[in-house]
Amino acid sequence: MDLPAYSTRPTLRVDLARVKANYEALKALTPRAKVAAAVKADAYGLGADSVGRALYGSGCRIFFVATAGEGKRLRDAIGPNAAIYVLNGPAPRDKGALLGAKLKPVINSIDQARYWADISRQVNEPPYTAIHIDTGMNRLGLTADGVRDLSRDTALWKALNPEWVMSHLACASITDHPLNAEQLGRFKAAAASLPPTPLSLANTAGIYLGRSYHFQLVRPGIGLYAAQATDRPDREVTQTAVKLLAPILQIRDVAAGESLGYNSTHTAARDMRVATVGAGYADGVPVSASNAGHAVLHDQPVPIVGRVSMDLTLLDVTDVHLPMNVGGVVELLGERLEALAEEAGTINYELLVRIGQRPRRDYWKPRQGSARQGSDKPGAPANRSKPPQKPRGGGPSARRGPKRPQRSPGR
């Protein structure tokens, strides 16, 4: 028997054109502010090298990462002409990376401030910094006492040479949460006690809270990669830019009463047709989606049955009446990202950042006026070259499955 040309390896397809379009859409919402990009956690699992270069090509010149190691990797990818801020701040073992890659630490405490001021006095061209004030997250950031101490220490402020004063919203994804307005007020009051410096407060969700939250810089993350950041997705202007595609490795008939997968967590209530696909929790399919989540085949949601295993996931394709073949692909993450997150009891952020390193990364850059076809269509055979002009498998695009959930908490 001749098999179609396919690989057993899953594919993570990142639409860089859509990432760039999302960046432009968020810029349009914030015309009075600069727009940075949060590319921490490997650009939310999508690949900071390629995503960073795409955003740099769209004019982004300010990036935020979590650690100095992430910053060094990004610096190598995008070159010397962008500002890269390290959100977790400076630490002694990171000094070499911070200075060598010209990274800018975000100062989160008076201890970090004093440590970095000492370092800055020892070098000829110390990098600028950002000052992070805690206004209600109770995670990182200067406390009220720390802000007071910094406001009184002119020499310390001068040594740090801050470019930005920033804070982070705890509940921006919940549009009417009272803490949003409380944090805004606390941020303004704290910033007023410091020397005049440009301000930054809003993440993606904060952008949708309105102009009063934008200040001089906004810092979107999830909105660059996935569509939903708030409990009001109807107001959002971005689109999901990622798909996790898995090849169909086997299709089998299962009789009523037989069990499926590890620990026999699913028993067939009827005669079933089951597709085994080549992606599991090592590739970012959450175990919590076992017997709860859905994938997409021929634009039709198909249930995950049995326990998701490390390398494989079982799908109930009994009700799929269009052709399916070994080597065809199903979509495990994509337009239904938020729906799967709700089904799995998690958030879209976690689904993205937990995508493993095994999936082949496919970064698509469309030709002018072209439309993606072929191998990303659930049900079509995997394709390792240019997309064919006529996709095999798949069905009409109108059917997208259950309505997306109405809320996605913040990171």
Orientation of helix 48-57 relative to helix 68-78, angle to 10° = 50
What is the reported pLDDT for 144? 97
Q: Work out the pLDDT band at 389, boundaries 50, 70, 90.
A: very low
Q: How far apart are CA 124 and CA 317, in angstroms?
A: 65
40 as an active site residue: the answer is: yes
Residues with Cβ within 8 Å of 184's Cβ and at least 6 positions away in sequence, in order, are 201, 212, 213
The number of folded domains in the chain is 2
Note the pLDDT tens digit of each residue in 262-279.
Answer: 999 999 999 999 999 999
The single-letter code of the amino acid at 197 is T
Q: Are residues 288 and 398 in the same domain?
A: yes
Q: Are residues 108 and 135 in the same domain?
A: yes
More confident residue, 406 or 91: 91
Q: Are residues 124 and 258 in the same domain?
A: no
Domain finish residue from 224, 259, 283: 224
Q: Is the pLDDT of residue 394 over 50?
A: no
Q: Which of 6, 20, 34, 40 is catalytic?
A: 40
| Six token digits for residue 285 | 């399919």
Q: Are residues 168 and 185 in the same domain?
A: yes
Q: Are residues 216 and 293 in the same domain?
A: no
Q: How far apart are CA 92 and CA 187, in angstroms?
A: 29
Angle ∠(248,226,291) on CA atoms, nearest 5: 45
**Residue 151 CA neighbour count, 13 Å, CB half:** 17
Q: Are residues 258 and 275 in the same domain?
A: yes
Q: Is the pLDDT of residue 192 over 80?
A: yes
Q: How far apart are CA 209 and CA 334, in angstroms?
A: 26
Q: Work out the pLDDT band at 366, boundaries 50, 70, 90.
A: low
Report which of 240, 287, 243 is spatially closest to residue 261, judged by C-alpha positions: 287
**Beta-bridge partners for 362:** 13
E-state strands within 48-170:
62-65, 83-86, 104-107, 129-132, 162-166
Q: Are residues 10 and 23 in the same domain?
A: no
Residues with Cβ within 8 Å of 1's Cβ and at least 6 positions away in sequence, in order, are none
Q: Is the pLDDT of residue 405 over 50?
A: no
Q: How far apart are CA 245 and CA 404, in angstroms?
A: 20
403 as an active site residue: the answer is: no
Report which of 19, 46, 38 is spatially closest to residue 205, judged by C-alpha positions: 38
Angle ∠(122,127,129) on CA atoms, nearest 5: 115
Range of the domain at 345: 1-15+240-404
What is the reported pLDDT for 208? 98
Report which of 234, 178, 225 is spatially closest to residue 203, judged by C-alpha positions: 225
Q: How far apart are CA 276 and CA 278, in angstroms?
A: 7
Which of 109-113, 185-189, 311-315, 374-378 is predicted with the least confidence, judged by mean pLDDT? Answer: 374-378
What is the reported pLDDT for 392? 32
Q: What CATH number is given to the structural domain containing 141? A: 3.20.20.10
* Cα 208 → chain centroid: 18
**Beta-bridge partners for 107:** 131
